[in-house]
Amino acid sequence: MKYLFKFIFINYHLIKCRLKYYLFGISAIEYLIPSLHPMLIIPTLKLFNAKIGNKTVIRSGLRITNSYGSSDSKNDFSNLQIGHNCFISYNTVFDLTDRIEIQDNVVLAMDCKIISHLDTGNRISNPKLNAIKKPIKIQNNVYIGASATILYGVTIGENAIIGSCSLVNKDIKMNTTNYGIPVREVSKA
């Protein structure tokens, strides 16, 4: 009986999401996700084309930004790929302007931000601030500490550790421990 109730509850929610999408677009789903029960987050992301592996856990407060609005936007979550057995903690932010690939056995502690672009729009006219968007790749067995920020174009190598509150603005070698603002390598793992 418990599983039947869960099945009905999830499918009822997905029908409501599909209706909101048709009426208001993907921005309505972006707005909805932070308030969802963790049981509903992964089915909702998958409904809108995110690829998420088995045994992955995503806690509440997840925020998805920029899955719509630009001329090359897909108006869905297809730029998000999360592997198997990952843990995404509370209040994580994913900027889906470009692709975010998280491979298997990755932990993102609470309040992490994964930012795949820089764009000031038309508010600042400075040639040094041209719009930039680049994919982010986090390879297998990576730990990213609380409140870390990963910027566009970064690849984090396998078995790397990123300390809390770090700003990752460059590629990280595999088997290393890194922290700081900006991030720097402090030891080999």
**Up-side HSE of residue 60: CA atoms within 13 Å toward CB?**
7
Provide the 8-state DSSP code for 29.
H
Encoding tokens for residue 53? 């592996």
Yes or no: say if 94 and 52 are a contact pair by the CB < 8 Å rule: no
Which amino acid would we find at residue 33? I
- Number of DSSP helices (H) and strands (E) in the chain, helices first: 3, 19
CA distance 189 to 187: 6
**Choice among 13, 37, 84, 117 that is catalytic:** 117
> Which are the contacts of 165, defined by CB distance < 8 A and separation ≥ 6?
145, 146, 147, 148, 179, 181
Yes or no: say if 66 and 98 are a contact pair by the CB < 8 Å rule: no
Active site residue 13: no
Which residues are catalytically annotated?
117
